[in-house]
Amino acid sequence: MGYHPGAEDDGVYLSAVKAAVNPSLYPHDAAFFQLQMRTSVFDSWMAHLIHFTGISTATAELAFQFLSLFLMVWACWMIVSRLFEESAARWGGVALFSAMLTLPVAGTALYIADQYLHPRNPATALILFAVARIQAGRRWQAVPLLLLAFILHPLMGAMGVSFCFVLTLTLSEPVRAHVLSWRTRLIPQSAEAATPVAAFFPFAWLLKKPTPAYLDAIRTRHCYLLFEWTWYEWLGVIGPLVIFWFVARIARKQGNEALSRFAMAVFLYSVAHQILAMVILGPRQLLAFSTLEPMRYLQLVYVFLVLVLGAYIGKHLLKTTLWRWTAFLLLANGGMAYAQRELFPATEHIELPGVPPTNPWVQAFDWIRQNTPQNAYFAIDPEYMHASGNDNHSFRALAERSVLADDIKDTAVVTKSPEIGSEWAQQVGATSDWQHFKLADFERLKIEFGVNWALVTNEQATGMDCPWHNDTLSVCRIP
């Protein structure tokens, strides 16, 4: 899957951790990550850990990324071992899950697990352990696991609570005969109503009237616009639902009661959340509520889908044949590794702490972090994360300096922090014609916002003092 700290969503989470470790960072723009982090303890928890252990932030992030993935695989082994008796099935499930960690989840802009330490990774591990505890009949042991998942990542924690509730109903003896029947499909759906309520408490701002800037930011997020998804994204929604319905029926006929009930729980959970998502993401008047991201229920569904499909492959195809296992592992892992290399073509597959970067943008970020004042305030192309050679690396997270708002990742922050909507719109608007900026435009930004540095292409550096450059970029003082 690779490892890419500071990429994509880690522009928010890594910045928040670094600010918690060193509060003197980001004097001009901390709101662009701190407001989103107000619902999570992830950043403060990581900062306390770093202070307690004395290790660097980069090392701590890498260690806990590895730990999160290890715990996810371990929990999946526990789950699949309750569903299948055959050793080949268990190993097939875990092997396919391990290979498919970066499988895209329909149109949600999610992977099963991210290529950096996102709080969703440890939260997913905790949810999966909670599922395993419920399967083992230790339901109360799932409660603290789900609580910790919720405070790390409230949205995913709420999804975990929801699934565990449905799974508990499905596994309960008094409802066993009914939960597998079409006549009682609505029982878990009515119970589902409690889940969104729990998620509202950290998001009281949803009840406020949306501002134009806030609505503009929401409309840039394709994952919120469910009824604009492509046919293949809808296939990624409906396909798993149909598969689990068939698995539940087939497993019941084969006498595998544990798998049948589990598959039915996934099916019912999916149906209930899909109905809820279509209500929230449909009418225009509910547009602000789209930031609850109801379609992200699919992340857990994809975890279980890959796990069960891998188990069937192991049981019926791979069995104990060495050459089949070899081909399977090479195809699954090789294919996903190739896809990740294509996604980050200008970057090392694994970005380890202390290893000099080859990515030209990350090189610039490194120089800025080491050679500019902590109170420096940068101007940058608002679409720099999509620039050639950047590979979605975040300036704020890696350069550790304040920067004007961008039009890629900061839009997602605005959808959850409408207080900064007008500031975001003003800054993005002021830099919207970036490709044609000359010295006078940079001087205008300095007057308007107080920026005193700029990261520009070499062609834009004319007239400014630029103490560093590579073949692509220059770091310049604005006169």
pLDDT digits (tens, 9 = 90+) for 31-54: 888 877 887 899 999 999 999 999
Q: Where are the domains of the chain?
A: 10-38+357-477, 62-320
pLDDT digits (tens, 9 = 90+) for 139-154: 999 999 999 999 999 9
Report how far residue 5's alpha carbon sits from residue 476's, in angstroms, rounded to the nearest whole number.
25
pLDDT digits (tens, 9 = 90+) for 305-341: 999 999 999 999 999 999 999 999 999 999 999 999 9
395 vs 218 pLDDT, higher one: 395
Give the model's confidence band at 75: pLDDT under 50 very low, under 70 low, under 90 confident, else very high. very high
Please give the DSSP secondary-structure letter assigned to residue 108.
Answer: S
What are the structure tokens assigned to 284, written together?
A: 């225009």
Q: What is the mean pLDDT of residues 330-353?
A: 95
Query: Exposed e or buried b for every residue in 236-270, given b needs 16+ CB within 10 A?
Result: bbeebbebbbebbeebbeeebeebbbbbbbbbbbb
Residue 182, pLDDT above cutoff 50? no
The amino acid at 398? L
**For the whole model, what pTM was predicted?**
0.88
What are the structure tokens assigned to 6, written together?
A: 């500071």
The amino acid at 437? F
Report how far residue 353's alpha carbon sits from residue 341's, in angstroms, rounded to the nearest whole number.
19
Residue 200, pLDDT above cutoff 50? no
Q: How many CA atoms lie within 13 A of 114 on its CB side?
A: 24
pLDDT digits (tens, 9 = 90+) for 90-100: 999 999 999 99
402 three-class SS: strand
Q: What is the structure's pLDDT at 212?
A: 65
Give the model's confidence band at 417: pLDDT under 50 very low, under 70 low, under 90 confident, else very high. confident
Q: What is the structure's pLDDT at 188?
A: 40
pLDDT digits (tens, 9 = 90+) for 242-265: 999 999 999 999 999 999 999 999
C-alpha R_g of the chain: 24
Pairing status of strand 377-379 against strand 473-477: unpaired
- Residue 177: partners with Cβ closer than 8 Å, 6 or more residues away: none
Helix/strand/coil percentages in the chain, nearest 5: 70, 5, 25
Residue 403 forms beta bridges with which residues? 378
Are the C-beta atoms of 81 and 317 separated by less than 8 Å? Answer: no
Q: What is the mean pLDDT of residues 19-31?
A: 93
Give the model's confidence band at 227: pLDDT under 50 very low, under 70 low, under 90 confident, else very high. confident
Q: What is the structure's pLDDT at 192?
A: 38
Residue 179, pLDDT above cutoff 70? no
Q: How far is CA 300 from CA 92, 271, 277, 475, in A?
A: 19, 13, 15, 43
Report how far residue 401's alpha carbon sits from residue 50's, in angstroms, rounded to the nearest whole number.
20
Average pLDDT, the chain: 88
Of 68-72, 117-121, 167-171, 281-285, least confident by mean pLDDT is 281-285
**Structure-token match 């071992």, residue found:** 81
**Structure-token match 């610039």, residue found:** 364
Give the model's confidence band at 125: pLDDT under 50 very low, under 70 low, under 90 confident, else very high. very high
Nearest to 110 by CA among 277, 224, 273: 224
Backbone angles phi, psi at 15, to 5 degrees: -60, -40
Residue 296, pLDDT above cutoff 60? yes
Q: How many CB atoms lie within 10 A of CB 27?
A: 13
Of 46-60, 413-427, 451-465, least confident by mean pLDDT is 413-427
Report how far residue 237's alpha carbon sits from residue 234's, in angstroms, rounded to the nearest whole number.
5
Backbone angles phi, psi at 323, to 5 degrees: -65, -30
Give the model's confidence band at 421: pLDDT under 50 very low, under 70 low, under 90 confident, else very high. confident
Residue 104 forms beta bridges with which residues? 111
Please give the DSSP secondary-structure letter assigned to residue 230.
Answer: -
Nearest to 311 by CA among 108, 142, 97, 156: 97
Q: How far is CA 473 from the centre of its chain?
A: 29
Are the C-beta atoms of 477 and 461 separated by less than 8 Å? Answer: no
Give the model's confidence band at 215: pLDDT under 50 very low, under 70 low, under 90 confident, else very high. low
Torsion of the alpha carbons at 403, 405, 407 and 410, rounded to the nearest 10? 100
